[in-house]
Amino acid sequence: MAARHFINDGTTLVQDALQGLALTHPSLIYDPENKSIINSRHDGNAKVTLISGGGAGHEPSFAGLVGDGLLSAAVSGSVFASPSVHQIQNTIASAGGSAGTLLIIMNYTGDVLHFHLAAEKARLAGHEMAVLVVGDDVSVGRRKSGKVGRRGLAGTVLVEKILGAVAQQEDATLKKVYQLGEEVVANLATVGAALDHVHLVGKPATDLTVRTDQVEVGMGIHNEPGCYVLKPQPHINVLVDQMLDQLLDQEDEDRAYVRFNDAEELVLMVNNLGGISNLEFSAMTKVVVGRLGKRSLHPRRVYAGAYMTSLDGKGFSITLLKASKAMIQALDAPASTPGWTAHQHLETSPVARKLFAVEEQAERLDPGSSRLKVDNISLSAAISRACHKIVAAEEEIDRFDSLVGDGDCGSTLARTARAILGELEKGGCVHPDGDVVGTVEAIAKVVEDNMDGTSGALYAIFLNAVGASLRNGAVGLQKERLVGAADWSEACVAGLDTLQRATPARVGDRTLMDALEPFIRALQAGESTDTALIAAQAGRDRTQGMRASLGRAVYVPEQGWSEVPDPGAAGLVVLLKGLLLA
């Protein structure tokens, strides 16, 4: 990861973060002396106390999981370093009570030694104590992990959630909670992967923080190297399949810790190590669920989010839990903590079912063919040519947009062009009987489905209006005829009029209208398509140096306006050239 942070002094970073957590969640108490967070509503004499902790850098674990229905308290060390025995012991004294205290920790040497010693000291002070060590990693394997056992990873969060719910039950005892915890741990398996290593605040960067075109499989949560490297970086499907092999392959004696094919219930957690965008992470979750489905495994519950991070690690982990119905009920139980996203298992609502029915009905509606026809061979060639030109210009238009917008105008246009090409290959877009209205409407539908943002709205409005104008013009025709230049001109004028009712953008505003309106006005005046194209190009060129009055370009430095033309206008000219110039 990049070695850049807004806070570059790590001296008080952990303390400040814990205090910030308490400031935004009034039910949480921050103990600065012991770097711990305690649930103010927990009564250790009435309910079993659950305390977790370890090094910082894994947020929301562990402090962010303190709250009703989950942890009673959490104690933090420095980044990736265990808290001291003194901190842990004092937190037990503050949060614990006569109902007993369970320490839930991950299997790392420092944590194991410090928490066990603190538990012994607490016993001497009169506390009933138990320590549950979570090890769920499968990537290291039995041979390499030896006596140390499996590392603790994101599966720890599922253990804490289940035990947190059970600890709220009236008949819960320390022994019962501990025994259930052992059962959950025995049925957990996790594997992680990351693109690179993380940079610690206030520390010099190392060559491990910048790695390109590779993935490390078996990454832990403390910046330790993975078990093996995949280079070049494989497709996400290939990566996920390899990770699932480690979790599920019963022939792998080194890693087959849990047999999932006879699971009563299956729980999946896809965990973000901290540096993957929500957009990409949701897509990755979909891939994981899909690849499990290929193996006839269908999770009853799916949790996805940043539960156990490694600072801003560009990586993720997959956890599977072979669950019982009682575990599912515990996972579904309410919890009020900053870091646990409640999961509700809901049936599809009547409203949703009604929406699906409306969508299906809309897809079946067909107003019928018009009598305006077009030469399908010529039109298909023109559309294909235009799409290929857009794809070829993708990088250049994105470069323009990176200076005056969000950098994706070319990608947006090219994605739609590829979708249209795909439909053409399948025999779509171009109406089979040469109906020009059906063709325009089919292309408009592809645009609506694939072109995002303002560009998508503008193109879709224009194309639908063009289609409506052509359909209206065909009303009353007694026989079929080929669409002519006058029909196209009239339809384009109607499209422009409709577009201008929907947007305030006009010539001079540095938008695609600077190219579109001159093109259409030239056609309206009876000029040739060559002359109209020259007018569009001139309009595009005038946008370079033009002050923006609409869109994101308004907010960029004025220098950007002078360096490139408007990306939307540039993309439109590429499209028109492809359509008109054979």
Two structure tokens written together for 68: 């009703």
Mapping DSSP onto H, E and C, the string for 138-172 reads: CCCHHHHHHHHCCCCCCHHHHHHHHHHHHCCCCCC
User: Would you say 56 is a known binding-site residue?
Assistant: yes
User: Would you say 58 is a known binding-site residue?
Assistant: yes
* 16 and 201 Cβ atoms separated by less than 8 Å: no
Question: Cα Rg for the chain, rounded, in angstroms?
Answer: 31
In this structure, the strands spanning 215-217 and 228-230 are antiparallel
* 405 and 553 Cβ atoms separated by less than 8 Å: yes
Distance CA 347, CA 345 (A): 7
Q: Which residues are catalytic?
A: 222
DSSP string covering 86-98: HHHHHHHHHH--T
Residues belonging to the chain: 582
Q: Where are the alpha helices (DSSP H) in 365-408?
A: 376-392, 394-404
Q: What are the backbone angles phi and psi of residue 409, rounded to the nearest 5°?
A: -60, -45
- Nearest CA-CA partner of 62 in 385, 368, 307: 307
* 166 and 278 Cβ atoms separated by less than 8 Å: no
Alpha-carbon distances, residue 108 vs 167, 311, 350 (angstroms): 25, 18, 49
* 218 and 193 Cβ atoms separated by less than 8 Å: yes
* 16 and 27 Cβ atoms separated by less than 8 Å: no
Question: Which residues pair with residue 133 across a beta bridge?
Answer: 105
Two structure tokens written together for 168: 């709220």
User: Would you say 57 is a known binding-site residue?
Assistant: yes
DSSP string covering 234-278: PPHHHHHHHHHHHHH-TT-TTT-----TT-SEEEEEEEE-B-S-H
376-392 vs 436-450: helix axis angle to the nearest 10?
Answer: 20
394-404 vs 567-580: helix axis angle to the nearest 10?
Answer: 160
User: Would you say 111 is a known binding-site residue?
Assistant: yes
Residue 74: what residue type?
A
In this structure, the strands spanning 73-79 and 36-39 are antiparallel
Distance CA 466, CA 446 (A): 15
Burial of residue 361, with CB atoms counted within 10 A of its CB: 0-12 exposed, 13-18 middle, 19 or more buried: exposed
DSSP string covering 469-489: HHHHHHTT-SS-EE--HHHHH
* Binding-site positions: 55-58, 111
* Binding-site positions for substrate: 55-58, 111
